């Protein structure tokens, strides 16, 4: 039995995409808390294409409930406004701070697991070399 055997059929329609560094260029990190960056090249077309078959869920630490309000708005509200600005909101099912069950996750900070030896090599090559 593998993961896709236990994920419900509705959850298999979910494709979860990280916001910062995958959709939004996030060039200043947290900065002042606002969402200042631009859309990354190809993001609109890819999300539009994926949304034809899958439910798109955006996950981001910006949506964490303990994040301070910025100009009286939650991080989730700011992300939704940014998605509207770039004509993405119509393709998005949900914005969340959690990674819900899904068919797959698209994340710029992920290390693909194949086995622990390879994971440690990838980790050390990336993080220990900096």
- Band of pLDDT at residue 128, cut at 50, 70 and 90: confident
Within a domain: residue 90? yes
Within a domain: residue 120? yes
pLDDT value at 89 more than 90: yes
pLDDT value at 4 more than 70: no
Within a domain: residue 93? yes
Q: What is the DSSP letter of 101?
A: S
**Residue 98's closest CA among 59, 66, 68?**
59
Within a domain: residue 56? yes
Within a domain: residue 3? no
- With vertex at residue 116, the alpha carbon angle to CA 106 and CA 96, rounded to the nearest 5 degrees, is 25
pLDDT tens, position by position, 62-75: 999 999 999 999 99
- With vertex at residue 115, the alpha carbon angle to CA 110 and CA 121, rounded to the nearest 5 degrees, is 65
The average confidence (pLDDT) of the chain is 88
Within a domain: residue 119? yes
Within a domain: residue 114? yes
**Residue 105 in tokens:** 């996750």
Mean pLDDT confidence for 107-118:
88
CATH code where residue 68 lies: 3.40.50.1000
Query: What global pTM score does this model have?
Result: 0.83
Within a domain: residue 123? yes
Q: Which domain holds residue 110?
A: 8-128
Q: What is the number of domains present in the chain?
A: 1
Mean pLDDT confidence for 95-120:
90
């Amino acid at each position: 039995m593998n993961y896709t055997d236990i994920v419900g059929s509705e959850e298999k329609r979910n494709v979860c995409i990280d916001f910062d560094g995958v959709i939004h260029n996030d060039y200043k990190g947290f900065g002042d808390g606002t969402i200042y960056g631009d859309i990354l090249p190809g993001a609109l077309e890819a999300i539009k294409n994926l949304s034809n078959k899958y439910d798109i869920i955006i996950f981001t630490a910006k949506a964490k409930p303990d994040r301070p309000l910025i100009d009286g708005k939650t991080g989730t509200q700011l992300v939704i406004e940014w998605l509207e600005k770039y004509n993405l909101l119509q393709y998005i099912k949900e914005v969340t701070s959690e990674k819900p069950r899904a068919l797959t996750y698209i994340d710029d900070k992920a290390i693909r697991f194949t086995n622990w030896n390879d994971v440690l090599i990838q980790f050390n090559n990336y993080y220990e070399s900096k």
